[in-house]
Structure 1
Amino acid sequence: MNKRISAAAMAAVMGASVVSAIPVQATGGQTENDTIVLRVCNWEEYIDEGGWEDDEVIDLDSGDIFGENSMIQDFEQWYQDTYGKKVRVEYSTFGTNEELYSQLNLGNVYDLVCPSDYMIMKLLKENKLEPLSKEFFDAENENNYYVKGVSPYINGVFEENQIDGKPWVDYAAGYMWGITGMVYNPEEVTEEEASTWTILENPKFYRQVTIKDNVRDAYFPTLAILNRDQLLDPSFRNSANYEAQLSAIMNDTRKETIDEAEEKLKEIRANVYSFETDSGKADMVSGKVVANLQWSGDGVYALDQAEEDDFYLNWAVPEECTNLWFDGWVMLKSGIGQDAAKKQAAEAFINFLSRPDNAVRNMYYIGYTSAIAGGDSSVIFDYLDWTYGAEEDEEDTIEYPVGYFFSGDNSDEDYVITAPAEQAHRQLSAQYPSEEEISRSAVMLYFDDEGNKNINQMWINVRCFNLSMLSIAQWITIAVIVLAAALLVLFVKFGDDIFRRKPPKGYN
């Protein structure tokens, strides 16, 4: 149930709310010159752009949800209706965290951006973030949808993590979240084989598995493989400081560890089909590969797309551990500055997106999981049940608890989905991992300058071409080409002599 259009189309849709050069009269005598201009930069295809088809109404018991307009247009209207002021959103997008960072270094100015966890930490470390206001955390304010509705689990992670004594929660508001795992073809790969990071080096699946083409998403599973025995040791799992130890292992940037990871990654590189950024989903659907390391949201998208063609894929979370990731909204000092009106509008934008019905719209449109649980509102849980709940007469079902996310208590009977049994390893488990899977997750933290330098050099060493990267088929192809070239050279050099040679005596 994902809807994806190009970034260019997004720009066209959003652009309608950006262009205006002539002052116009607004409500209450306000002119266009009084309009608050809010510059927002988000991931490509990462917000509801509206234009839903008539048959896409989400008909929940709590009310229908439908995306007629873009979320940007609806926010602008809501803001004026709520606060009596006009706001114009200048919306732009980026493709990677590094691209966003480069834009900032080149002088592009934004007020509100939505980077991933480690980039949030990097910007916080560099003192580039504006803290959220005290008013933003006032739960008595009916318009503060974020503080009233954020998942207690997500909020706990944001409170626990900090940079230089600065907790994430004071600077960042969660938008989407998830884990990493394996999308796999159950006709070719068993659940046991898919439920370990070692599938990346498993010779049984030579050139049939893909891995992400970025250093952090490749480094994490490599560390898990290198430390597999310890990670699976029951005494380690049951230790009192398991979470801290797991985080230390999965964020180890010592030079000797990086060197060891480089050698292991070169072995993985020789076994996988490719390093990829966004082609893995299509490769799975087309059958080019049988397993694909994937972010949970894109995993859901791949499962959905394959299902439309009656081709069923599954989702597995490696038993060693998994990467817990977040994208979150942060305000930039370079944009917000001392402008109180702009800061209030930026926080209002976060709150508007956190309103339960809008969180549902975004989840439906992009396929990822919102950090919003809804608080006192049942809308988001109702949507989850609407999406994955079993039919009344369905027999093969499971009881799937998600209380840890919605109320902070996984035994909470109000947050249990009765779902088809297959959803234990399909879309439901990808969007809302089980509490057990979450318990063995770790956030990849911000690496210091020395760690970044060594890891980036390691990645260059792994990704730069060398002869060991060639498969047997590629070696055969090269040999054929070389032989053909050699024959061509011989023909050019001696061909004329062969054809002009006189026949031997006595030959008629």
Structure 2
Amino acid sequence: MKKILISTILALLVLSGCAGEEKKVLKVFNWGAYIDETVITEFEDLYDVRVIYDNYDSNELMYTKIQSGEYYDILVPTDHMVERLIAEDYLQPLDLSKLSNLGNLYPDLLNRSFDPNNTYSIPYFWGNIGIIYNKNTVDVADLENEGWMVLNNPKYADRIYIYDSARDAFMVAQKALGYSVNSTDEAEIEAAFELLKQINETTRPIYIDETIIDNMITEQKDLAVDFSGDAAYIISQNENLSFFVPEEGTNIWMDSMIIPKNAKEVDLAHKWIDFMLDNEVALKNTIYVGYTSPNISAFETVTGPGGDYEGNIAYQPRMDNPNDEVYKYDDALKEVITDKWTRVKAQ
């Protein structure tokens, strides 16, 4: 009887302990290959929680899932999507008093036009768009003299990749023509459309996805329009390659951490954001991903003597060109250029 009683008590204690040890779950929705996964484990251990970490490959895919009612505690959309989510009342304001590491970020990367005062978002990675080129086969003078129009130079026919993105492709054409990336002028949009068709006919670019990274590292083409973060990694893997951003201007983009209104673990979500702002965590992420960190310490470490991106021009996006712009959210514009981009590729 005594043995039975003791066994019963022990069993109850075990069950009680198991119930008490049920861990909180944080759901994170982020771009693929956009984090050093060891920091996820570190966060779980630090706060004794479980993280469900899902990936998406476009802002549109992320938006569709959120619109369907799926909940996440953390999202990491690009600036124009942050602007949209704010306008459509999908986000909740952040409690900045819970972000003790906010001071680790460059002040110039805060208070951006898409979210003044960082009411809803905190920078995660940022960069611009430019041209990766092979120093052995591309004349730098062509880049400097022609800018984005080098993509229409017959000299480079069948030697070009363009990352397959309607907004970014139209940015190239709009800047080449001296227009704003946010222009809604029908004549300007049509002119950009005609230029993209001309480029398509003249140099026959290959429109490509994330495989652009491995293909450029192995020098499959001589020129590629791509994100600075991809370029930084590619250059770090092949010293024959470099990065050029035309003076006509480009897109400055920023991916930011936000908390949706329907998040279930709001306090834990703030802890996640603050953890990502930690100097050592930010350093691990930027070394692994290759994209530019807004964290001062991480940036200085990787660009300083002996750093992973020392002397890597793509890792250090410019901030002083007045022709560079942030995309503004405009659903009608997006629909128009997406349709026209599909028509360019169908030629």
TM-score after normalising by structure 1? 0.61
Distance 2:148 2:15 in 1: 58
CA apart distance, 1:36: 2.3
Residue type at the aligned position of 1:266: K
2:20 corresponding residue in structure 1: 31
1:216 corresponding residue in structure 2: 167
CA contact (8 A) 2:293 2:299 kept: no
CA apart distance, 1:78: 2.0
Residue type at the aligned position of 1:261: A
Q: Are 1:441 and 2:317 an aligned pair?
A: no
1:487-506 deviation per Cα after TM superposition (whole angstroms, max 9, x unaligned): xxxxxxxxxxxxxxxxxxxx
CA contact (8 A) 1:177 1:370 kept: yes
2:81 corresponding residue in structure 1: 119
Q: Are 1:346 and 2:269 an aligned pair?
A: yes
SS at match of 2:259: strand
CA apart distance, 1:258: 1.7
1:266 corresponding residue in structure 2: 197
Equivalence map 1:415-494=2 (5 Å): 423=311, 427=312, 429-436=313-320, 438-447=321-330, 449-463=331-345, 465-466=346-347
1:37-80 deviation per Cα after TM superposition (whole angstroms, max 9, x unaligned): 2111111111112xxxxxxxxxxxxxxxxxxxx1111112223x
Q: Are 1:250 and 2:200 an aligned pair?
A: no
Distance 1:188 1:328, change over 3 A: same
Distance 1:23 1:197 in 2: 66
CA contact (8 A) 1:253 1:455 kept: no
1:357 to 280, 291, 294: 280
1:497 corresponding residue in structure 2: none
CA apart distance, 1:261: 1.5
Equivalence map 1:370-385=2 (5 Å): 370-374=293-297, 380-385=299-304
CA apart distance, 1:332: 0.7
CA apart distance, 1:272: 3.4
CA contact (8 A) 1:23 1:32 kept: no
Distance 1:255 1:32 in 2: 60
CA apart distance, 1:32: 3.0
CA apart distance, 1:90: 1.3
Distance 2:343 2:53 in 1: 37
Q: Are 1:315 and 2:243 an aligned pair?
A: yes
Residue type at the aligned position of 2:88: E
CA apart distance, 1:129: 0.7
2:54 corresponding residue in structure 1: 92
Moved >4 Å (runs of 4+): none
**Which consecutive unaligned segments of at least 5 residues does structure 1 have?**
1-21, 50-69, 80-85, 138-143, 229-248, 337-341, 390-416, 467-508
CA contact (8 A) 1:43 1:114 kept: yes
1:232 corresponding residue in structure 2: none
**Which consecutive unaligned segments of at least 5 residues does structure 2 have?**
1-13
CA apart distance, 1:93: 0.9
Distance 1:23 1:174, change over 3 A: farther
1:322-368 deviation per Cα after TM superposition (whole angstroms, max 9, x unaligned): 211111101111224xxxxx211101101111110111000111111
Q: Are 1:226 and 2:177 an aligned pair?
A: yes
Distance 1:23 1:131 in 2: 39
Residue type at the aligned position of 2:43: F
2:140 to 178, 188, 191: 191
1:402 corresponding residue in structure 2: none
SS at match of 2:167: helix
Distance 1:433 1:453, change over 3 A: closer
CA apart distance, 1:101: 1.4
Distance 1:296 1:201, change over 3 A: same
- Structure with bigger gyration radius: 1
SS at match of 1:288: coil
CA apart distance, 1:459: 2.1
Residue type at the aligned position of 2:337: I
Distance 1:382 1:261, change over 3 A: closer
1:278 corresponding residue in structure 2: 210
CA contact (8 A) 2:75 2:258 kept: yes
Distance 1:453 1:435 in 2: 29
SS at match of 2:251: strand
SS at match of 1:335: coil
CA contact (8 A) 2:161 2:207 kept: yes
Distance 1:223 1:128, change over 3 A: same
The size of the alignment, in residue pairs, is: 331
CA apart distance, 1:153: 1.4
Distance 1:190 1:209 in 2: 14
Q: Are 1:161 and 2:113 an aligned pair?
A: yes
1:67 corresponding residue in structure 2: none
CA apart distance, 1:24: 7.4
1:302 to 221, 234, 239: 234
TM-score after normalising by structure 2? 0.88
CA apart distance, 1:134: 4.3
Residue type at the aligned position of 2:300: F
2:151 corresponding residue in structure 1: 200
Residue type at the aligned position of 2:53: Y
Residue type at the aligned position of 1:74: E
CA RMSD of aligned residues (A): 2.4
Percent of pairs identical after alignment? 29
CA apart distance, 1:439: 4.8
